[in-house]
Structure 1
Amino acid sequence: MAKYSKYFDLAKERGIEALELYVSKHYALSFSLFHSEVDSYFLEDAQSLSARGIYGGKIGYAATEKLDKSAPDFVIAHVIDNAKAVDKDDPAILFPGSPKYHKGNVYNQEIRTLSVDKKLANLYEIEKKLKAADPRISEVESVSYSESDGEVHLLNSYGLDLKSKSNYFYYYASVLVKDGEATRSAYKIHLSNDPSNFIIDDFVKALVNEALGKIGATPLPSKKYPVVLSPKVAASLLDAYLEGADAEQVQKKSSLLAGKLHQLVASKKLTVSETPLTKNCFFRYFDDEGVATYNKTIIEKGMLSTYFYNLLTAHNDGVRSTGNGYRGGSGRIATSYVNLSVKPGKKSVDAMISNVKEGVLIKEVQGLHAGLNAQSGDFSLQASGFLIESGKISRAVNLITIAGNLKDLFLDISDIANDSELQLSSISSPSILIKKLAVSGK
């Protein structure tokens, strides 16, 4: 706190009732290979400070990346000017602190201490093994490595003083395979904050199998099929659906989940939790307003248990913040979530598929933003995957479209597998079986 005392002294001197500082440090490293040459390299080591202050009953905002002696005067002056320009009547709220915080350390120093040479050597090895894996692999399009290292320090006039530090890395590779006159593409991502659990041979094998499995892909006859959503696709559609649980959208009457609290919004087989205290690379023990996070059920056996609240939307509804206030642009506090997870079932995905006489396994979708109406839940998405016949994967399918409504889709869940995967979105989901979904092909 002493390091930033000048900001608080100036704020008090100039009539700011309360001040909040959000200091962020960010380190990022990424590089990629193309045809055994490093074709991109990016390194960032930056810090920034943003401030919110209550002045004249309004919240003013300022930010700077120049943290020198002039920064306190610049920031405080801009907070005041910004507050004077605010014409909304929203209450000015800064948070004094939660009674208890569940602190934890998930920062892994090994990510930074592992040399760049070793990380680059891993890329060369991945590329080499992909090229040698199968003659049908015609091109290794890209092999890349990225890491992110972030530190947040949140403090305010009420004595709040919170720090959080986390990091993660991921490897990415994409390939093309020959399929007659056509080519098929496939990619794989390995996300973790523990370098010791990255096994190159496993990564390469999974990508090669994914790519070769697409050979011979053709469209399907158009009709309604039982559909298995892969973990990645299920996570993407759940993310879109739970945008409707944002309390701000609910209060604006622009959410498909408005008025649905404590009502059935999905199959009773579906339970979804937000577990920000899970000790992985997305761990958060406080949100960007300083509210303590906690693990909570969002959908319990199909019933919507809560909306996502920040301080302002909680005030509007006369409830407490759920610890879901996260910063957007221009100092705006929106709502978001971290470590969202679908409760897995007991069956393997193969066992779940074995009960499907004729259906489709959807591995990828495209156009999620353009092809989905968040307010109504209607969607029409390009997709690809595999035909299921007599309980087994039969052949690859492509050039198909899946269409329906998000609410109907989640109400039509008939089974959930146990193959959960954590995505870059911080959502973890297993494969999910939908009773029927419209598939358009030939």
Structure 2
Amino acid sequence: MNKRDLAEILFARGKEKGIEDMEAFIQKRKKLNIKVFKGEIDDYSISDEYGLSFRGIYDGKMGYSYTEKIDESSIDMLIKEVIDNAKIIDSDDEEFIFKGSREYKKIDSYNDSLDNISNKEKIEFTKAMEEEALKADERVEAVNYCVYGEEIEHNILLNTKGLSLEEKSNIAYGYISVMVKYGDDIKTASKDVISNNFSRFNAKELALEAVKEGISQLGAESIESDNYPVILRNEASASLLEAYSTIFSAEKVQKGLSMLSGKIQDKIANDIVTLIDDPHMEGGVASMSFDGEGVASQKKKIIENGVLKTYLHNLKSAKKDGVESTGNAYKPSYKSTVSIAPANMYIQEGEQKFDDMVGSIQKGLIITGFQGLHSGVNTVSGDFSLAAHGYLIENGKISTAVNQITVAGNFYEMMKNIIEVGEDLKFTFPGGNGYIGSPSLKISELSISGK
């Protein structure tokens, strides 16, 4: 049976049972994962996920249900679970089914050419990454991870208010992590690429970057504890931004879980900082024309020249604040309820070249990565204390590698203390979710605990 016809039957029977407005969300997702170890395929898996979620207003409350069996036999179960779910909800928050936006921007998030790349070619790319890394330098002890991943997602959203939306996207990533050794000194480093354009996947380039990074960390030592000017290299600044991305959610603000309550139109960062959420970005991991509730997505400046301009809203949070949804309702799976999340959120690039940022510091640090991001940050207070590694800067030049240090500060204060923004915007994946990015950032001062 046609899925749209099935939804119409579901809506008709739901109405008979007293459910008012209703929505059906149909999602098909296909994933490919290739992992290589010592020249052999260590993992090769293809998974298909297909399901339907059903939402409806019953006695003024929103009920949820879902199924992996998309046929008429599931209809009675879906309706019963929506009603049962709605009966036990005790929240007074108003939720509703959306009638549709006036206009939807067409987003081309599906690259047909990726389909034309055979799985054999993708396996060869993955093997080539490992091979290039192992022969790049005699200090390469092993390749810990060598992975190619790919995902295709197809979503259909239908409701009883006449809304009918459909979108398809695909994305792929390559990831390599190497271990290098010199004497008793062992270091690891990784690099990744993410795109739905396979021509951007260069196995040799990716492998050599990872090896170069690892070798540059050999001989790393701790440094004296002090306050230092710090450059957060793009991967590190993106990962820290991701850890604090929830503070811009209107839901978190309304629940008192963000310090940004009442800060709209207030200056919360340096003038040179502009934070953008762009679901229309070409090639973006989270590019989309509509959000999880069917609201048209829109590009927006969350922070403009240091001033907070908006929170991220779904329909429920927008209703509470008396504003319109920003199109940031998030439904990662047909099994999930609706929450709030950014879509291709990033700090806008500046004009500073990385080498010039380094050259401007007499004595300071480059932080290239953090550990324990989800345990060492407090998203309510903004405080963080994180193990980190990177490089020492002396007299405007990188001198030695640094590890066994802890970087401490407050995210809200750090945003005010950004004094230079690089021109090297990067989105990271894996290790991140791929839809939050940042250029390198020069911070006037952060507390470093070392030896």
Query: Given the two structures, how large is their TM-score scaled by the length of structure 2?
Result: 0.95
Q: Is the 8 A contact 2:63 2:82 kept in 1?
A: yes
2:101 corresponds to = 98
Q: For residues 128 and 249 of structure 1, what CA distance do their matches in structure 2 show?
A: 46
Q: For residues 396 and 92 of structure 1, what CA distance do their matches in structure 2 show?
A: 53
Q: For residues 149 and 374 of structure 1, what CA distance do their matches in structure 2 show?
A: 32
> Any idea what SS the aligned residue of 1:259 has?
coil
1:175 corresponds to = 178
1:394-433 equivalence runs, <5 A: 394-424=399-429, 425=433, 426-433=435-442
Q: 1:216 aligns with which of 211, 215, 219?
A: 219
1:349-388 equivalence runs, <5 A: 349-388=354-393
Q: 1:434 aligns with which of 407, 431, 443?
A: 443
- Residue type at the aligned position of 1:430: P
2:74 corresponds to = 71
Q: For residues 215 and 209 of structure 1, what CA distance do their matches in structure 2 show?
A: 10
Q: Is the 8 A contact 1:147 1:170 kept in 2?
A: yes
Number of residue pairs matched? Answer: 442
Is 2:341 aligned against 1:332? no
Q: Is the 8 A contact 2:128 2:204 kept in 1?
A: no
1:26 corresponds to = 29
Q: Is the 8 A contact 1:62 1:331 kept in 2?
A: no
Cα drift, residue 332 of structure 1:
2.7
Cα drift, residue 232 of structure 1:
1.3
Q: For residues 405 and 331 of structure 1, what CA distance do their matches in structure 2 show?
A: 32
Is 2:289 aligned against 1:291? no
Q: Is the 8 A contact 1:274 1:295 kept in 2?
A: yes
| 1:139-171 deviation per Cα after TM superposition (whole angstroms, max 9, x unaligned) | 112211110111111110001011111111111
Q: For residues 431 and 271 of structure 1, what CA distance do their matches in structure 2 show?
A: 14
1:52 corresponds to = 55
> Any idea what SS the aligned residue of 2:380 has?
coil
Q: Is the 8 A contact 1:381 1:403 kept in 2?
A: yes
Q: For residues 90 and 352 of structure 2, what CA distance do their matches in structure 1 show?
A: 55
Cα drift, residue 262 of structure 1:
1.1
Cα drift, residue 39 of structure 1:
1.7
1:192-211 equivalence runs, <5 A: 192-211=195-214
Q: For residues 7 and 247 of structure 2, what CA distance do their matches in structure 1 show?
A: 38
1:344 corresponds to = 349
Cα drift, residue 331 of structure 1:
4.3
Cα drift, residue 46 of structure 1:
1.6
Is 2:61 aligned against 1:61? no
1:152 corresponds to = 155
Cα drift, residue 36 of structure 1:
1.6
> Any idea what SS the aligned residue of 2:102 has?
coil
Is 2:311 aligned against 1:307? yes
Q: Is the 8 A contact 2:192 2:428 kept in 1?
A: no
> Any idea what SS the aligned residue of 2:25 has?
strand
Q: Is the 8 A contact 2:154 2:166 kept in 1?
A: yes
Q: For residues 77 and 96 of structure 1, what CA distance do their matches in structure 2 show?
A: 24
Deviates more, 1:380-389 or 1:36-45: 36-45
Is 2:268 aligned against 1:259? no
| 1:349-378 deviation per Cα after TM superposition (whole angstroms, max 9, x unaligned) | 111111111110000001111111111011
Deviates more, 1:319-328 or 1:413-422: 319-328
2:123 corresponds to = 120
Q: For residues 206 and 412 of structure 1, what CA distance do their matches in structure 2 show?
A: 30
> Any idea what SS the aligned residue of 1:70 has?
helix
Q: For residues 86 and 253 of structure 1, what CA distance do their matches in structure 2 show?
A: 21
Cα drift, residue 328 of structure 1:
6.3
| 1:76-107 deviation per Cα after TM superposition (whole angstroms, max 9, x unaligned) | 12112211222222223110001111122220
2:324 corresponds to = 320
Is 2:7 aligned against 1:4? yes
Cα drift, residue 295 of structure 1:
0.6
- Residue type at the aligned position of 1:303: V
How much identity, in percent, do the aligned residues show?
40
> Any idea what SS the aligned residue of 1:47 has?
strand
> Any idea what SS the aligned residue of 1:73 has?
helix
Q: Is the 8 A contact 1:220 1:441 kept in 2?
A: yes
Cα drift, residue 175 of structure 1:
0.9
Q: For residues 25 and 173 of structure 1, what CA distance do their matches in structure 2 show?
A: 28
> Any idea what SS the aligned residue of 1:163 has?
strand
Unaligned runs of 5+ in 1: none
Is 2:237 aligned against 1:234? yes
2:249 corresponds to = 246
Q: For residues 187 and 255 of structure 1, what CA distance do their matches in structure 2 show?
A: 32
Q: For residues 84 and 133 of structure 2, what CA distance do their matches in structure 1 show?
A: 57
Q: Is the 8 A contact 1:234 1:431 kept in 2?
A: yes
Q: For residues 90 and 348 of structure 2, what CA distance do their matches in structure 1 show?
A: 44
Cα drift, residue 337 of structure 1:
0.6
Q: For residues 95 and 310 of structure 2, what CA distance do their matches in structure 1 show?
A: 24
Cα drift, residue 2 of structure 1:
3.0
> Any idea what SS the aligned residue of 2:407 has?
strand
Alignment RMSD:
1.4
Is 2:259 aligned against 1:272? no
1:13 corresponds to = 16
> Any idea what SS the aligned residue of 2:266 has?
coil
Q: For residues 301 and 339 of structure 2, what CA distance do their matches in structure 1 show?
A: 20
> Any idea what SS the aligned residue of 2:72 has?
coil
Q: Is the 8 A contact 1:241 1:407 kept in 2?
A: no
Q: Is the 8 A contact 1:244 1:258 kept in 2?
A: no
- Residue type at the aligned position of 2:9: K
